[in-house]
Amino acid sequence: MSSQPRPTPSAPQAPRVTAQTLLEKKRLGEPITALTAYDYPTARLVDEAGIDIILVGDSLGMAVLGYDTTLPVTMDEMLHHAKAVARATRHALLVADMPFGSYHVSPEQAVTNALRFIQEAGMSAVKIEGNNADLVARLTRAEIPVVCHLGLTPQSVHRMGGYKVQGKTASAVEQLCHDAAALEGAGAIAIVLEGIPRQAAELITANSGIPTIGIGAGPLCDGQILVFHDLFNLSFTPPAKFVRPQADAAALFREGLARYREEVSARTFPSDAESYHLSSSALQELAHS
Answer yes or no: 194 catalytic: yes
Q: How far apart are CA 194 and CA 153, in angstroms?
A: 7
Q: How far apart are CA 281 and CA 155, in angstroms?
A: 66
State the catalytic residue, choosing from 184, 194, 262, 274. 194
Sign of CA dihedral 141, 205, 242, 29: negative
Give CA separation, 214 vs 25, 31, 78, 193, 265, in Å.
15, 11, 22, 5, 47
Q: Find out whether 144 and 125 touch, Cβ atoms under 8 Å.
A: yes
Determine the number of helices (DSSP H) and then strands (DSSP E) in the chain.
Answer: 12, 8
Q: How far apart are CA 189 and CA 209, in angstroms?
A: 9
Start-end of H helices in 142-227 = 157-160, 170-186, 198-206
Using DSSP's 3-state secondary structure scheme, residue 7 falls into: coil
N residues, the chain: 289
Using DSSP's 3-state secondary structure scheme, residue 242 falls into: coil
- Dihedral class, residue 29 (left if φ above 0, else alpha if ψ from -120 to 50, else beta): left
Using DSSP's 3-state secondary structure scheme, residue 184 falls into: helix
Closest CA to 53 of 43, 39, 40: 43
Catalytic annotation, residues: 194
